[in-house]
Structure 1
Amino acid sequence: MKWFDRLFKKGEDGTRVELWYVVIILALGVIIFTFANKNITESEVDNIQPSIDTVNTSKTISYEERLESRLEDTISNIHGVGKVDILLTIESSKEIVLNKDVPSGESIMEEKDSSGGSRNSTDKTQSEETVLTNNPDGSSEPIVLKETMPIVQGVLILAENGDDPIVKETLTNAAVILLDIPAHKVQVVKMK
């Protein structure tokens, strides 16, 4: 308790000298803690950004995998095909077109001077703003006009009976119809 009594003891000039030391040490501690916390926050932000990209990529991959799975289930039910494995290549990712409000205006000013000369000036303004809708929970989200799913660039079909010309033609035709791609982008091969 001696240190506690000494901490609050007045100095010769009436000030608490040791108390100022404590205040200074506490202030330095707060400053160090603030900067240390700020650095952690910045590093956490750096770690979050790659995970956002990963989420967007995984959505595209899951669409691709889901489409491959549906095709495998459908094509494996065709008579004489046997077991199949399908690999798709995707050309582009999903595209979302948002509703935009594009107000524009035009003003024309005509000036005439005393000597009979005239000058015309035109001022055009245009701005673009995304149209939002309010949800019952109080949040707002943009109005989506159109969503375009990823485009299939090509397909490889591995089939148990992929060497049979009839099976090959049937699988090629099925892929052309289901994926809306030309026949030259479909390859059917025999599975090991």
Structure 2
Amino acid sequence: MKKITGIFSSDEIKKMKPLMFLAAVCIIALIAISIIPTGKESKEESKVVSNNKTSEEPTEKEKKDLEAKLTEILSKISGAGDVDVLITFDSSEEIVPAYNSNTTTETTKEQDSSGGERTTTSSTENKTMITSDDKDPVVLKTSEAKVKGVIVVASGAEDSTVKQLLYDAVQTSLQVSGHQVEIYPK
């Protein structure tokens, strides 16, 4: 305190004590807030993680469900017999969120004393994701996962008519090209 009293008068020190106390309380409160996690934040973080996980790659359950549905439908084709299906995916489901965007363009023209001219253009874009009341992003579009290829193994595929029916059914149901579908007999 002797160094402080040499720089400040005793009246100034009396005025500074409440301010120093208030500053210490604020620092302690900021440290406590940053250390103690709230349940709401961790819940939102887990939502973000789960949303990113689903958009990265179709889940194994979704793959198996699609294969099971296709197997069920193909096995109902007359003469198909016992059917097994394998579907491979090239890309995952894509979710396109809505954004508010603001673009600012600024052009500056300068002339020097010798008649030379210089034009500078700068552009900035600010994007903000639009969220609903419960903090979920507003989705503009969702694209399904892209099918890379389909293999069908059927006991009735030895018959060319049944093979063609299976081939057409797979193309129609999954909206894939012919080169992505292979049909084999069991």
- TM-score normalised to the size of structure 1? 0.60
- In structure 1, the partner of 2:93 is 94
**Aligned equivalents of 2:178 and 2:169: distance in 1?**
10
Q: Tell me the SS of whatever aligns to 1:127.
A: strand
**Aligned equivalents of 2:106 and 2:114: distance in 1?**
25
Does the 8 Å CA contact 2:101/2:126 hold for their aligned counterparts?
Answer: yes
- Cα deviation for residue 150 of structure 1 reads 0.8
- Cα deviation for residue 61 of structure 1 reads 2.0
Share of identical aligned residues, percent? 31
Higher CA-based Rg:
1
- In structure 2, the partner of 1:179 is 174
- In structure 2, the partner of 1:23 is none
* 2:164 pairs with one of 145, 150, 169: 169
Number of residue pairs matched by the alignment? 137
- In structure 1, the partner of 2:183 is 188
CA-based RMSD of the aligned residues comes to 2.9
1:27-46 Cα distance to aligned partner (Å, 9 max, x none): xxxxxxxxxxxxxxxxxxxx
Is 2:144 aligned against 1:149? yes
- In structure 2, the partner of 1:125 is 124
- Cα deviation for residue 70 of structure 1 reads 0.9
Read off the aligned partner of 1:94 and give its amino acid letter. Answer: E
Structure ranking higher on relative contact order (CA contacts 8 Å, 6+ apart): 2
- TM-score normalised to the size of structure 2? 0.62
Extract unaligned runs of 5+ from structure 2.
Answer: 1-45
1:47-97 Cα distance to aligned partner (Å, 9 max, x none): x9xx979x6478432222111111111111111111211011111111111
**Aligned equivalents of 1:132 and 1:106: distance in 2?**
27
